[in-house]
A and B are shown apart, each in its own frame.
Chain A
Amino acid sequence: MRRTSGFALFWILSICVMSWLFVLPVGRSEAAKAELELWHRWSGPHQEVLREVLKGFEAKQPGIAVKEVSVPGQYVDLMQKVLARLAARQNPPDVLLPGYNFLDYTVRELRPIPIDQIGGTEAKAVYARYVPSVLRTGQIDGKQYGLPYALSTAVLYYNPRLVEAAGLNPQTPPRTWAEVQTWGEAIKGKTGKPALYISNVDTFLMQSLVESAGGVMLSNACPAFSTTEAVAALEVWRRYYQDGLIPRITYREAEQSFMTGDLAMFATSIMHLRGWTQQAQFPLRVAHLPRFGQRSLKVAAGGAALMVLARTTERQKAAWELLKYMTSEEGMRIWVKTGYLNPLQAALPRTEGQDPAYDQFPNLVGWVSWPGSRGLEVDKRVLDWRDKILLGAVGAKGGLEAAAAEVSPLIPGCPR
Chain B
Amino acid sequence: MTSRAWCSSLAKMAGRLAVERRARRPRAAELPPLLFIGPAASLLLVFVYWPLIYTVYLSVLDWNLISPVREFVGSANYRLLVFEPIFWIAVKNTLIYLVVLVPVELCFPLALALLLQSVAERRIRAVYQALIFSPTVLSFAIVCIVWVWMFNPLGGALSRLFRLVGLPAIAWLNNAQLSLWAVVLVSAWKVFGYNLVIFLAALTAIPAEYVESARIDGASAWKVFRWITWPLLGPTTFFVLVTTAIFTGTQVFIPIHVLTQGGPYNSSTHLIYLIYQYGFQFFQVGAASAASVFTFLGFLVLTYLQLRYLERFVHYGR
Contact = CB atoms under 8 A, between A and B. Distances in A.
Interface residues of A, number: 41
A-B pairs, top 3 by smallest CB distance, nearest first, are A87-B65, A248-B171, A7-B35
B38 A14 contact: yes
B42 interface: yes
Given A3-B32, A14-B38, A109-B64, A374 B284 contact: yes
13 contacts: A3-B32, A7-B36, A10-B35, A18-B42, A18-B46, A109-B64, A249-B174, A250-B173, A250-B174, A384-B265, A385-B265, A391-B264, A393-B176
A250 B152 CA distance: 9
Contacts of B148: 250, 252-253
Given A83-B66, A86-B66, A380-B282, A256 B35 contact: no
A80 B265 CA distance: 20
A373 interface: yes
Interface in A169-199: 194
Contacts of B93: none
Nearest to B32: A7
Contacts of A247: 153-154, 171
Given A83-B64, A84-B280, A194-B154, 8 more contacts: A15-B42, A109-B64, A253-B156, A262-B155, A374-B284, A377-B281, A391-B175, A391-B264
Interface in A370-413: 373-374, 376-377, 380, 384-385, 387-388, 391, 393
Contacts of A3: 32
Contact of A87 (B66, B156, B284): B66
Interface in B122-179: 148-149, 151-156, 171, 173-176
Residue of B28, B46, B174 with highest tally of chain A CB at under 10 A:
B174
Contact of A391 (B31, B39, B174): B174
Interface string B172-196: 0111100000000000000000000
A84 B148 CA distance: 27
A22 B46 CA distance: 10
A4 B31 contact: yes
Q: SS class of chain B's interface: helix, strand, loop or mixed?
A: loop
A227 interface: no
Contacts of A376: 281-283
A374 B282 contact: yes
Contacts of A380: 277, 281-282
A263 B154 CA distance: 9
Contacts of B235: none
Given A249-B152, A249-B171, A376-B283, A11 B38 contact: yes
A86 B260 CA distance: 27
A194 B169 CA distance: 13
Given A14-B42, A15-B42, A257 B31 contact: no
B283 A4 contact: no
A353 B280 CA distance: 38
Nearest to B33: A7
B266 interface: yes
A260 interface: yes
A76 interface: yes
Contact of A387 (B32, B151, B173, B264): B264
A8 interface: yes
Nearest to A373: B64
Residue of B42, B66, B151 with highest tally of chain A CB at under 10 A:
B66
Contacts of A387: 263-265
Nearest to A76: B281
Contacts of B38: 11, 14-15
A237 to B, nearest CB: 15
B289 to A, nearest CB: 13
A84 B46 CA distance: 21
Contacts of A385: 265
Contacts of A249: 152-154, 171, 173-174
Interface in B275-305: 277, 280-284
Interface string A1-38: 10110011011001100100010000000000000000
Nearest to B265: A384
Interface string B25-52: 0001001100110110011001000000
Nearest to A89: B66
Contacts of A83: 64-66, 283
A260 B155 CA distance: 9
Contacts of B264: 387-388, 391
B81 to A, nearest CB: 14
Interface string A83-95: 1101100000000
Contacts of B277: 380
A22 to B, nearest CB: 8
Contacts of A87: 65-66, 283
Nearest to A258: B154
Contacts of A109: 64, 66
Contact of B175 (A18, A248, A384): A248
Contacts of A1: 28
B32 A4 contact: yes
Interface in A146-186: none
B70 to A, nearest CB: 13
Contact of B35 (A8, A76, A248, A391): A8
B176 A80 contact: no
Contacts of A260: 155
Contacts of A80: 280-281, 283
A4 B174 CA distance: 63
A391 B149 contact: no
B288 to A, nearest CB: 12
Nearest to A84: B280
B28 A4 contact: yes
Contact of B65 (A86, A248, A388, A391): A86
B39 to A, nearest CB: 4
Nearest to A377: B282
Nearest to B65: A87
Nearest to B278: A377
A253 B151 CA distance: 9
A80 B277 CA distance: 10
Residue of B151, B155, B175, B284 with highest tally of chain A CB at under 10 A:
B155
A253 B42 CA distance: 48
Given A83-B65, A248-B171, A384 B280 contact: no
